[in-house]
Amino acid sequence: MTENAWTRWPSREALGRVESSGARRLLGWVVRGLVLGMLLWSGLTGSHVHGWGMVAAVAGLVLAAFLAWALYRTTLAHRLVRSLALMTALLAIAVVAQAVGFRVPALVIWCGCAVTALERLPVAAALPVASVALASYAAVNDDVWLTTAATTGGLALAGYVLRLDAEARGSAQRLLAQERAARTAEAESAALAERARIAREIHDVLAHSLSAQLVHLEAARLLIERGADREQILERVVAARGMARDGLSETRQALSALRGELTPLEDFLTQLVSTADGAEATITGDRRPLPAEASQAVRRVAQEALTNVRKHAPGARVRIRLEYGEHQVTLVVRDSGGSPGELAAAGAGYGLLGMRERAELLGGSLETGPDEEGFVVSLKVPV
Per residue in 341-360, pLDDT (tens digit) is 444 444 444 466 777 877 88
What pLDDT score was predicted for residue 381?
A: 92
Task: State how far the Cα of 215 lies from the Cα of 108, in Å rounded to an integer.
Answer: 92
Task: State how far the Cα of 312 lies from the Cα of 315, in Å rounded to an integer.
Answer: 10
**pTM strictly above 0.75:** no
Element (H, E) at 170: helix 145-225
For residue range 251-298, what is the model confidence (pLDDT) as tens digits?
Answer: 766 666 666 656 788 888 888 888 777 788 899 988 888 887 788 888
Task: State how far the Cα of 267 lies from the Cα of 328, in Å rounded to an integer.
Answer: 19
Q: Which residue has the higher pLDDT, 87 or 18?
A: 87
What angle is formed at CA 97 by the lines to CA 93 and CA 99, rounded to 5 degrees?
115
Q: Are 130 and 114 a contacting pair, CB within 8 Å?
A: yes
In this predicted structure, the answer to whether residue 104 has a pLDDT above a threshold of 90 is no
Strand order in the sheet with 318-324: 279-284, 318-324, 328-335, 375-382, 365-370
Which of 296, 294, 302, 299 lies closest to 334, judged by CA?
A: 302
What pLDDT score was predicted for residue 332?
A: 92
Q: Tell me which amino acid residue 48 is.
A: H
Task: State how far the Cα of 151 lies from the Cα of 63, in Å rounded to an integer.
Answer: 27
Cβ neighbours of 175 (radius 10 Å): 10
What pLDDT score was predicted for residue 21?
A: 59
| Number of alpha helices (DSSP H) and beta strands (DSSP E) in the chain | 12, 5
Listed range (32-46, 122-136, 366-380) with the worst mean pLDDT:
32-46
Task: State how far the Cα of 270 lies from the Cα of 103, in Å rounded to an integer.
Answer: 97
Percentages (nearest 5) of helix, strand, coil residues in the chain: 70, 10, 20
Task: State how far the Cα of 175 lies from the Cα of 350, in Å rounded to an integer.
Answer: 46
Q: Express as a percent the part of the chain with pLDDT over 70.
A: 78
Report the range out of 29-38, 103-112, 364-373 with the highest average pLDDT.
Answer: 364-373
Span 304-327, average pLDDT: 85
For residue range 52-72, what is the model confidence (pLDDT) as tens digits?
Answer: 556 676 777 788 888 888 888
The rounded radius of gyration (Å) of the Cα atoms in the chain is 41
Q: What are phi and psi of 290, to 5 degrees?
A: -105, 155
Q: Are 95 and 106 a contacting pair, CB within 8 Å?
A: yes
Span 108-131, average pLDDT: 85
Element (H, E) at 165: helix 145-225
Give me the chain's average pLDDT, please.
78
Task: State how far the Cα of 216 lies from the Cα of 240, in Å rounded to an integer.
Answer: 5
What pLDDT score was predicted for residue 253?
A: 65
Task: State how far the Cα of 326 lies from the Cα of 268, in Å rounded to an integer.
Answer: 22
Q: Which residue has the higher pLDDT, 82 or 239?
A: 82
Q: Express as a percent the part of the chain with pLDDT over 90.
A: 5
For residue range 328-343, what is the model confidence (pLDDT) as tens digits?
Answer: 999 999 988 766 544 4
Give the bridge partners for 331, in sequence order: 322, 379
Residues near 13 by beta carbon (within 8 Å), at least 6 away in sequence: 19, 169, 170, 171, 173, 174
Span 167-172, average pLDDT: 79
Domains of the chain: 3-142 (no CATH), 189-382 (3.30.565.10)
Q: Which residue has the higher pLDDT, 89 or 254?
A: 89
In this predicted structure, the answer to whether residue 230 has a pLDDT above a threshold of 60 is yes
Element (H, E) at 321: strand 318-324
What pLDDT score was predicted for residue 64?
A: 81
Q: Tell me which amino acid residue 166 is.
A: A
Which of 311, 298, 314, 306 lies closest to 355, judged by CA?
A: 298
Q: Are 381 and 328 a contacting pair, CB within 8 Å?
A: yes
Report the range out of 16-20, 317-321, 343-347 with the highest average pLDDT.
Answer: 317-321
